[in-house]
Amino acid sequence: MNPFACQSVLTLLLTSTLAMSSAHLAFADDDDDEDDEHEHKRNSLFESRLAPVVNATYSEECGSCHMAYQPGLLPPRDWARIMAPDALINHYGDDASLSEALRAEISAFLGANAANVARSMVPGDASNTGAVSGGLPRITESADFKHEHDEIPARLVTGNPEVNSFSQCNACHQKAAEGNYDERWIDIPGHGPWRD
Ligand code: HEC
Ligand code: HEC
């Protein structure tokens, strides 16, 4: 039994009642349990709970400047673009280059655990390909991400020295490192919990 299952049903009931109008993709999937986990994974890429990162090399090498994003936040081809040797040298303006051994190990981990590309609104799909700066895909540029975050005013993000950028998931999502983006664990610095 998934320990979140009961909680999730409650969340679903609560969010459906309170926020019928702001239908967002993730909460429809909150009502998960182990039985439909496969289904769940196949149909939804941007969800409130993702498998945590379990690769020490990845956490160490890719979790120092920002959190180690869950592999499930991007489809395989986006991770492949990010992990290309040339791309790592100019990584969103930073140098994140790695030895070939580390690069290969992390690439394999990300590729194997990436989001399934079955759905059309996946990050990096036609809806946002090309809209990304420097040619590198972003989780934060995906249609699903924008849909979830479009009501948050810039002063709480780029104008907030404790956040700076949407890329800093864990600045607002207290359990982002565990892959838990559930709304109950949101605490925006200088603002507090999010109620919509
Ligand atoms: C030297 C610092 C540094 C390291 C190491 C680093 N990154 Fe980044 N990464 C950045 C910066 C800076 C950004 C852009 C953040 C922003 O726009 O606020 C970024 C952005 C990203 C994004 C896009 C986030 C978004 O906005 O959607 C992904 C994905 C990413 N990094 C993956 C990785 C991976 C994979 C590794 C390990 C190979 C890695 N990073 C290592 C500095 C780093
Ligand atoms: C400035 C604070 C902030 C940052 C940074 C941020 N988020 Fe969010 N996120 C929110 C808020 C607030 C909501 C709820 C929005 C709503 O319901 O209108 C949310 C919702 C979500 C949801 C849907 C949760 C649910 O229960 O349905 C997911 C998934 C999510 N964020 C993932 C991310 C990821 C991944 C990152 C980093 C790449 C990120 N967020 C960065 C504030 C933030």
Which residue in the block uniquely carries the two structure tokens 């907030």? Answer: 160
Q: Average pLDDT of 182-193?
A: 95
Phi first, then psi, for residue 5 (nearest 5°) are -60, -45
* 11 pLDDT higher than 80: no
Q: pLDDT at position 67, please?
A: 96
Question: Is residue 3 scored above 60 in pLDDT?
Answer: no
Cα distances (angstroms) measured from residue 187 to each of 3, 7, 59, 111? 23, 19, 23, 31
pLDDT of the residue at 46: 66
> 139 CB less than 6 Å from ligand 1?
yes
pTM for this entry: 0.80
Q: Structural domain boundaries of the chain?
A: 1-196
Note the pLDDT tens digit of each residue in 27-73. 334 444 443 444 344 334 567 888 888 899 999 999 999 999 999 99
Q: Please, which residues bridge with residue 49 across strands?
A: 180
CA–CA distance, 147 with 127 (Å, rounded to integer): 12
Ligand 2, atom 43, lies closest to the CA of 172
DSSP per-residue letters across the chain: --TTHHHHHHHHHHHHHH-STT--TTGGG-S--GGGHHHHHHH-SS-SB-PPP--HHHHHHHSSSS----GGGS-HHHHHHHHSHHHHHTBTTB-----HHHHHHHHHHHHHHSPPTTSTT-TTSTTTTT-SGGG---GGGSHHHHHHHTTS-GGGTTT-TTT-STT-HHHHBTTGGGTB--GGGB-BTTTBS---
pLDDT beyond 60 at 21? no
Share of the chain above pLDDT 70, in %: 67
Please provide the average confidence, as pLDDT, over all residues in the chain: 77
pLDDT of residue 137: 94
| Angle at 164 (CA atoms; ends 159, 166), nearest 5 degrees | 110
Which atom of ligand 2 is closest in space to residue 46's alpha carbon?
A: 29
To the nearest whole percent, how much of the chain has pLDDT over 90? 59
98 CA: nearest ligand 1 atom:
38
Average pLDDT over residues 1-13: 47
Q: Return phi, psi of residue 25, to 5°.
A: -60, -40
pLDDT at 28: 39
User: Which atom of ligand 1 lies nearest, measured to the CA of 74?
Assistant: 29
pLDDT of residue 49: 85
pLDDT reported for residue 134: 58
Task: Look at ligand 2, atom 9, and give the residue with the nearest C-alpha.
Answer: 149
Region 127-154 average pLDDT: 79
Q: Does the pLDDT of residue 155 top 90, yes or no? A: yes
Instruction: Report the separation in Å between the CA atom of 102 and the middle of ligand 2, taken as the mean of its atom positions.
Output: 30
Q: Which atom, in ligand 1's list, is nearest to the CA of 103?
A: 38
The more confidently predicted of residues 83 and 38 is: 83
Does ligand 1 have an atom closer than 6 angstroms to the CB of 140?
yes
